[in-house]
A and B are shown apart, each in its own frame.
Chain A
Amino acid sequence: MNAPNDERWLERARALLDDSADNLDAATLSRLNRARQAALAARRKGPGRWAWGAAFAGAAAAVFAVAIALHRQGLPPASTPAASLQPADIDVLTSDDDLDLADNLDFYAWLEKQPAGGPSG
């Protein structure tokens, strides 16, 4: 990249520039120090109070939304069970018939197959 003899004068240029940076006056060094400290202090402070307030409000809104969603999930859906009941089911539930028939269906099926005079044997 650089010509072979560039290195000699570039080395001198580097040394001169280093000297100029090393020999800054005390007032300038003090201002640099203050600038650095101010930049670091701004980082330590982090976001301002308003930013924390906004973050808190956002978090509260998110928690509220999640709570509402969970609450709705826990409730029975509006369409069940009444909306899904068929008329026949309603008849069964509201009739005064003895539910014994349903419970002993096997027995009644067997009884129906028996001759009219009663079981033989």
Chain B
Amino acid sequence: MDAEISLMAVFDESRRAVGAGEESRPLDMFLRGVERRALRMAELATGSRDEALDLVQDAMFGFVRHYGGHDGAEWPPLFWRVLDSRLNDWHRRQKVRGRWSFRPDDKNTDEDPIALAPDAREPGPLARMADGEASVALEAALRGLPLRQRQAFLLRIWEGLDVAATAVAMRCSEGSVKTHLSRALANLRRALEAHR
């Protein structure tokens, strides 16, 4: 009798697990779709693959726990929001530990807008580089950006979020997103031009 009851319990448990697996499939598919870019984003922020993997895992746990029950259409900005929060926390910890090296200030105001304005006839800073060289140059230029500028660039330009969704992901106003992105583009262009 006892054996029969425990067998039924095991059967029920496995049936529940299968049902829960089906329920988690959309979430699994979503995370599969973003995890690589999330890792690269974290890696650009930390400069370490191990740290990046830890942060992405942490972001996945936080996202699934807090937002897994939300409508799937809401997931992208919410996932990036969780990761962005983890990256901010990581940077704060680095500052506290004194391992923070100087990076361009987000609030630098001594930029000459005319000097920074791109020449419309120029094909762009990456145009004359071979893939390998361009990749190294882009990586270095992105790592040189302040966190908020880099996040605005990656979320808007790479991830393709619109301004409103990027503002949700970065917990800031849409105006701030535009400012961060504008500065990111100017700084990237300058860094890549210098690399040439």
Contact = CB atoms under 8 A, between A and B. Distances in A.
Nearest to A29: B36
A5 B124 CA distance: 7
Interface in B16-56: 17, 20-21, 24, 27-28, 31-32, 35-37, 39-40, 49, 53, 56
B39 to A, nearest CB: 6
Interface string A16-37: 1101111010001101100110
Given A3-B120, A13-B157, A36-B28, A8 B60 contact: no
Nearest to B131: A16
Interface centre among A1, A4, A20, A42 (most CB of B within 10 A): A20
Nearest to A24: B36
B57 interface: yes
Taking residues whose C-beta sits less than 8 angstroms from the other chain, chain B's interface range is: 35 or more
A2 interface: yes
Contact of A32 (B27, B35, B138, B189): B35
Interface SS of chain B: helix, strand, loop or mixed?
helix
A35 B138 contact: no
Contacts, number: 109
Contacts of A13: 126, 138, 157-158, 188
Interface centre among B27, B64, B121, B182 (most CB of A within 10 A): B64
B124 A31 contact: no
B35 A9 contact: no
Contact of A36 (B35, B182, B192): B35
A21 B38 CA distance: 9
B14 interface: no
Nearest to B32: A36
Interface string B168-196: 00000000001001100100110010000
Given A20-B40, A21-B36, A42-B61, A36 B31 contact: yes
A104 B182 CA distance: 103
Contacts of B31: 36, 39-40
B39 A6 contact: no
A111 interface: no
Q: Can you list the 4 inter-chain pairs with the closest CB atoms, starting with the nearest?
A: A9-B124, A35-B57, A39-B60, A21-B36
Interface of A: 1-6, 8-10, 12-14, 16-17, 19-22, 24, 28-29, 31-32, 35-36, 38-40, 42-44
